[in-house]
Structure 1
């Protein structure tokens, strides 16, 4: 591939005066000595090749005087399939410089980890013969138990492991902590059965097979089996249906339908069904799953920012709906907010992407690190002369493999273009971990487009959430007058979709900002969004006062109040988790700061008069300043005490209260009049009439 060492040096240096980089064409073989000399220097090492990663690590280990990778990590970046192998490789220098610059950034700060401990106790669930066969493949590494789920097949004559039979009632948990419950109603108890085969010989209907279970549809109740099994006592037709439970570290499910139906099942659970290939893959993984394991805790949660619930009322539940691992549950009835089970979390980040308030944040890497990477890439690309950059967000797994396939195809097939020079691949743990705040920040940094590559890894919930977020981003950008569809979702399952992906990557660029921003993304999602919006508005080709946004996924909007219904009870103020709604201690007012509203709907569900509706929009009047200031949604004259004249409520609220209580026996005559008094005057009035019968005396 063509490489320009002089141009790369200029792009990667701060002042553009660095000496030309030496170019190596076979660094991993004939020129390996150059790598070894660099390794001995002790300087930071970045190898622009991922295919020979293992070889370079071995070379470093074998080079005398080279620090080990534990003291000086070696980073790797792919510039070949993603840039050098394409039809416009000669123009790819700005992109290669951007990829190299991003790879040189410091590693994110470490985060807390989540631990698992597996003792190797594995349960295999399924038909007798299939379960027994799988057990023989695992028994030398794991402690295997069988749960036979249906009659038929055969168990071996020798009893070499624990075997149970029954129907699964419940399976929950994760690696090292699965809890399995099953229901057993067959007359033969496999724990007591000695497999002597006497019952098989005695049964006149042949209702008992070598699975040592009674086929109750074939059995005619001769009970000869009970007689021959008297010593063992394993057969009892009077036995009631029983539930049993055990804890296991690992689960291999051979049933046709998986016991966990979510897109991302818990770690330590494998469903193979009757698929031989999936079985072998599961067996290979299970054999290595004894011991202690850990993973990063991918998320941070701040309950005080959470807009899920208040006072047992539910508002936003976007994170619960999008989680494909079912790791998030509502705590509305137990103090409010949500709970994320870290052992079930797979780190997709979809919950953090759809969270409108920033209560859930992706932690590894966080938005500060991700934003720094995007800004570095785009600044380096622009400094090297690149234009109209398109960021291509893809997963480190399937997404990276598809891009590598595309690059290799471009090298051998003239009809394939390859990854264009303006397309900058951005590898992430999962595509759902980057959303609206970082997309808009990238556009503000100068990207013309942000594309997200979806593969079979993405759950349907992720696709819907990303599509909703993309619709909001495009509505904002197009509303501001920027031409084009800036945020797009691209689909590619495998090599069969390479031609369509190749064409999609050559789309015409959207309109970028005239002057790129230089702000740093913040840990707070709303703060990052405000920084991006302020810059995009300042650079907007067509500034507007208001942009209508899609209802699904909008983190911006207004609250509309039906003043004919509203009594200014201020229940909505108490329910609002973001201080978007507020009262006025000096006057009966309901005030609203639109910038703070996350459209969670808690005010709408809390309002006893059904006077509130949500309006998804981005209000930009007065250059965006108006949405940051409090405005009055509803105001009424105060109701004044009929005894002292002090204001203590609103006219409508007092009228509603009197109307509802006027027919009540306890509120007649003077008692009804006291409802029109302030709290102090009510007390004075009650004790001014000592002969009056009060409700407290009854």
Structure 2
């Protein structure tokens, strides 16, 4: 298969040898093309957009066009959004839609049933396996079908299920028919979500502390099983918007079309370039404006996927602030932009990310892009968590400055833990509860340590603490100074030595706590009281020796 194909248009310039230049489209499929008429796995409208609008000189344009092809190739090669298919039937329900449409669809081999919207009490399942609870003449029954067509905008359950489509989104019956025939008998979809349950802050915990992803999901692609405390995923219902990725605090969710490792490598193509981020759904083909020198578009699949780590990585890879051209800013992306803009304002007196929702805002934002001194930083480590990578980048950016505190948001939360060292016994329940490495046990110092920059403030450590009024979580924002990124000691203790053999076996506070609790119950039994201060081996020996004397 040919890789990089450029179909000639009004923009004529010499291109690198890696790009094949053609006068007209080929009658075969290629990997990437700048022309919709060319059969291609990837249509890249940003290529013509850049050539038509950029103020770069001819040599720079030639180099950058190759980068745009390479960026698309990289995303394709390293994407994990594998295409899947499912066989579905031809049973269609029309909800409050005229019977003329039913007759039309029946002529094209679809089985059609017309119902009133209020007859459909509930709907569940997915495309090809939908089930409706229908009420008719005071009786309720279940009805299995494949696809639902509706007109109302009031039914959230219709909007959330795959296989349910708004009839008013189609200009005529012919367009609708073509759409339905593309879905039946084979329905193609991709897996957009990757999941690591080991660092999920909802998975199998005793109490609920997260599940932001399920809360934000516009469909039934992510649901909570509150009994098991597990997330349930339905890839066929996923729209690929990426909203769940941008709010996942631990990084347990990743975006299959552009996984984190792939994204890190992609950013190397945009070093020393001012970046214009454009979601795939935005129309570029008819957009005409002045694209300043050194500005290069970056096309992304999901409009809501960008997290604080994505934005900071792009900023530090390019060395310049950037523009996000989108008509929708997700909750996670919005809070990430707010956080970074607050930091950049204090550090550089600059805006980090300009958001443009239309052509006028885009043109104005593009004129404000500039390279920022000391911003560039190249650090990516795929073995670290999302928060760890973000913390490394932010620590470099802040350097030795003290830029105050940025308040915590609803989705992107920061804070700190306070511990009463007098009541903490270093049982380390909180360490076991933390799955992002913010709380650790330092065996060399017999200390409990905490790094606020890694903490997602889920609160599970607070729930897990065995001591009353000992551990408190404060969601008080992110402190922008160098010490914020270090581990600090919250509590420490000396190890207690067994009074028989001298072996260290527990912290002094833990031994004393148990002793104070058990002494009254032992009613002056000196052997039992002595055993409280012994290691496990000596405890047995002491008790056996006492029994032999009896």
Counterpart check, 1:143 vs 2:111: yes
The one of 85, 88, 95 equivalent to 1:125 is 95
Structure 2 residue aligned with 1:101: 67
Q: Aligned in 2, Cα 1:513/1:332: closer, same or farther, shift over 3 Å?
A: farther
* CA deviation string 1:556-580 (max 9, x = no partner): 6653323244332321111111333
| 8 Å contact kept, 1:441–1:528 | no
Once residues 361 and 352 of structure 1 are traced to their aligned partners in structure 2, the CA distance between those partners, rounded to angstroms, is 6
Gaps of 5+ in 2: 1-8
Structure 2 residue aligned with 1:285: 179
Matches within 5 A, 1:126-525: 126=96, 130=97, 132-140=99-107, 141-148=109-116, 166-168=119-121, 170-186=122-138, 242-255=139-152, 257-260=154-157, 265-272=160-167, 285-309=179-203, 311-330=205-224, 333-334=227-228, 338-379=231-272, 381=273, 389=274, 391-397=275-281, 399=282, 401=283, 403-407=284-288, 417-455=289-327, 458=328, 463-478=330-345, 481-492=347-358, 498-506=359-367, 508-509=368-369, 511-514=371-374, 516-517=376-377, 521=380, 523=382
SS of the equivalent of 2:426 reads: coil
| 8 Å contact kept, 1:79–1:96 | no
Structure 2 residue aligned with 1:543: 400
Structure 2 residue aligned with 1:568: 426
Structure of higher RCO (CA pairs closer than 8 Å, 6+ residues apart): 1
Structure 2 residue aligned with 1:636: 493
CA drift of 1:245 comes to: 1.3
Q: Aligned in 2, Cα 1:120/1:261: closer, same or farther, shift over 3 Å?
A: closer
CA drift of 1:132 comes to: 3.3
Once residues 113 and 524 of structure 2 are traced to their aligned partners in structure 1, the CA distance between those partners, rounded to angstroms, is 78
Report how many aligned residue pairs link the two structures.
531
Higher-Rg structure is: 1
CA drift of 1:635 comes to: 0.8
CA drift of 1:298 comes to: 1.6
Once residues 76 and 167 of structure 1 are traced to their aligned partners in structure 2, the CA distance between those partners, rounded to angstroms, is 42
The one of 468, 473, 487 equivalent to 1:613 is 473
CA drift of 1:427 comes to: 1.8
Once residues 404 and 385 of structure 2 are traced to their aligned partners in structure 1, the CA distance between those partners, rounded to angstroms, is 18
Once residues 180 and 238 of structure 2 are traced to their aligned partners in structure 1, the CA distance between those partners, rounded to angstroms, is 20
CA drift of 1:173 comes to: 1.6
| 8 Å contact kept, 2:514–2:532 | no
CA drift of 1:251 comes to: 1.3
Once residues 653 and 585 of structure 1 are traced to their aligned partners in structure 2, the CA distance between those partners, rounded to angstroms, is 15
Once residues 288 and 504 of structure 1 are traced to their aligned partners in structure 2, the CA distance between those partners, rounded to angstroms, is 40
CA drift of 1:448 comes to: 1.8
Once residues 529 and 172 of structure 2 are traced to their aligned partners in structure 1, the CA distance between those partners, rounded to angstroms, is 78
Alpha-carbon RMSD across the aligned residues, in angstroms, is 4.4
Q: Aligned in 2, Cα 1:451/1:325: closer, same or farther, shift over 3 Å?
A: farther
SS of the equivalent of 2:385 reads: helix
Once residues 638 and 74 of structure 1 are traced to their aligned partners in structure 2, the CA distance between those partners, rounded to angstroms, is 63
Once residues 75 and 282 of structure 1 are traced to their aligned partners in structure 2, the CA distance between those partners, rounded to angstroms, is 24
Q: Aligned in 2, Cα 1:181/1:536: closer, same or farther, shift over 3 Å?
A: closer
Gaps of 5+ in 1: 15-20, 28-33, 58-68, 151-165, 187-241, 382-388, 408-416, 493-497, 692-698
| 8 Å contact kept, 2:277–2:299 | yes
Once residues 335 and 17 of structure 2 are traced to their aligned partners in structure 1, the CA distance between those partners, rounded to angstroms, is 40
CA drift of 1:518 comes to: 5.6
Once residues 522 and 132 of structure 2 are traced to their aligned partners in structure 1, the CA distance between those partners, rounded to angstroms, is 59
Q: Normalization by structure 1: what TM-score?
A: 0.64
Q: Aligned in 2, Cα 1:619/1:654: closer, same or farther, shift over 3 Å?
A: farther
Q: Aligned in 2, Cα 1:659/1:266: closer, same or farther, shift over 3 Å?
A: same
Of 347-356 and 103-112, more deviation after overlay is shown by 103-112
Q: Normalization by structure 2: what TM-score?
A: 0.79
Once residues 654 and 95 of structure 1 are traced to their aligned partners in structure 2, the CA distance between those partners, rounded to angstroms, is 72
Once residues 356 and 326 of structure 1 are traced to their aligned partners in structure 2, the CA distance between those partners, rounded to angstroms, is 21
SS of the equivalent of 2:127 reads: coil
Q: Aligned in 2, Cα 1:35/1:319: closer, same or farther, shift over 3 Å?
A: same
Structure 2 residue aligned with 1:35: 23
* CA deviation string 1:259-304 (max 9, x = no partner): 5266xx333112448x996998656533542112222212221222
Q: Aligned in 2, Cα 1:90/1:635: closer, same or farther, shift over 3 Å?
A: closer
CA drift of 1:484 comes to: 0.7
